[in-house]
Amino acid sequence: MSRAPQDCGARDATARLSVGDATLRQVSPYPDSTAPAVPAPATAPAPLRARLAELRGPVAPRPLDARALAALATNPGCRRRAILDAAGVDKSAVASRIGRPAPFGQSQFAIARGHAFEARVTADRCAELLRLLGERLGVPVPGEVDLPDLDAAGPAGRTERTRLALAEATAAGRWALLEHPMLRLDVAGSPVHLEPDAVVVHPDGTWTVVEVKSFPILDGSADPSKVGAAARQAAVYVLALEEAARSTGRGRPGETVLLVCPRDFSNLPTASPVDVRKQLSVTRRQLARLTRIEEIAAALPEGTTFDLRPAEDGRTPTRPPRELAAAVDSVPAAYSPECLSTCELAFHCRERARQCGAVQALGRAVRGELGGLTTVEQVLAAARGPVDPDDPAARRLHRAARLRAGAPAGAPAGAPAGADPAERPGAAEHAPGGAAAPGGRGREAVACR
């Protein structure tokens, strides 16, 4: 007997959750029948694949997962990461070899806790998960939900099995729950295999991604950065489902995913819909940019390679660190403090950004405020004047320097706080040589913060 869909908002306070980077509130109804047409996939020509293999060296490419693809999308301007990821280079090994390993990834404790929580949610043929799906999506009692067996040999076999299961369930117009399906997404011409926690097939052909995470929803709120990361990861799965929809000629991936987390301080699961349209559009755009990897590769100096040249044991790298670092530095980067939580090369890139006084090391917000001024040296020069009346960032800096210079000793008469020095006669005479340039110590503190 079918169970009627129920009012999610009335049953679970978490429906009112909202975070900065992703919205946990249900903004589009299930089933999502308004998803846009699936765009064509990006593929890369064979010469590019050969060039990427050359850059990687004679080792197996490091497979990209949804987390890595999502991280790639958070910094779309970074050519360094784009080409290293496209070539399947082990960035962690490269960072270690050049002497700047970054502590990166989840702790063993967090991984174990995540596994334990997921095991609880999926125990007894997904009994708990089906209960949550019943609350949120109106999925009927377990007996009326197909749970297809997706076992097969290797990622390619599992992908094909998943594809068939999706097609069959959609054609039959039945509810189905696919636990740990295997999906495929072409990235720069190479297949990436991705494994979401679950996918629900609705009778009308909508497919909903379900992500199980171990961070808690406390009193109706969740950590925005964690929800944002989960949303970006889920968006990658939705893109892979779009590829499956294209290949089967059936199905419609929904743009709202279901996040399953522990509730409050208990280990009891709760579920919340998350709108991932924004993450989808950013990730789609970034993956489209990967088709331009060829341009990045073509711009590299002759002979550039990130080959770690393993010793006879096949593991120990033998490449001189200086040479490897030079190869890494030959690709332009776009460092920002966010890299510290998303990229294995963050310590190396941060050091390089500091060395050349790049303002991007101070964060994207500061970088955006400074307009065309890209180095700390340029910023200090603009603050000291003479003022460029056509550059609003330079004018603001000059004014700030004047205020700072006047504050400790008292502003001179005729120089009221708030007046733009660029608009006063004799402004250049008051250029705050010492005050705006607070000495080597101050400059270092700004550049290396």
| Interface positions with ligand SF4 (CB under 6 A) | 75, 78, 80-81, 333-335, 339, 343, 345-346, 349
CB of 325 to ligand SF4, least distance (A): 12
Question: Of 4, 322, 315, 48, which Cα lies nearest the Cα of 141?
Answer: 4
Place of tokens 């990436």: 192
CB of 80 to ligand SF4, least distance (A): 4
Distance CA 293, CA 449 (A): 32
Residue 230 or 353: which CB sits closer to ligand SF4? 353
Residue 162 or 286: which CB sits closer to ligand SF4? 286
Number of alpha carbons in the 13 Å side-chain half-sphere of residue 101: 6
Which amino acid belongs to residue 64?
Answer: L
CB of 311 to ligand SF4, least distance (A): 26
The DSSP code for 338 is: G
Question: Of 277, 233, 227, which Cα lies nearest the Cα of 256?
Answer: 277
CB of 391 to ligand SF4, least distance (A): 27
Distance CA 165, CA 182 (A): 11
Distance CA 208, CA 26 (A): 13
Tokens of 354: 């500091």
Tokens of 327: 């190869």
CB of 101 to ligand SF4, least distance (A): 13
The DSSP code for 349 is: H
CB of 415 to ligand SF4, least distance (A): 42
Place of tokens 């020095």: 421
Residue 92 or 247: which CB sits closer to ligand SF4? 92
Residue 30 or 335: which CB sits closer to ligand SF4? 335
Three-class SS string for 95-148?
HHHCCCCCCCCCCHHHHHHHHHHHHHHHHHHHHHHHHHHHHHHCCCCHHHCECC
Residue 8 or 353: which CB sits closer to ligand SF4? 353
Residue 78 or 382: which CB sits closer to ligand SF4? 78
CB of 334 to ligand SF4, least distance (A): 5
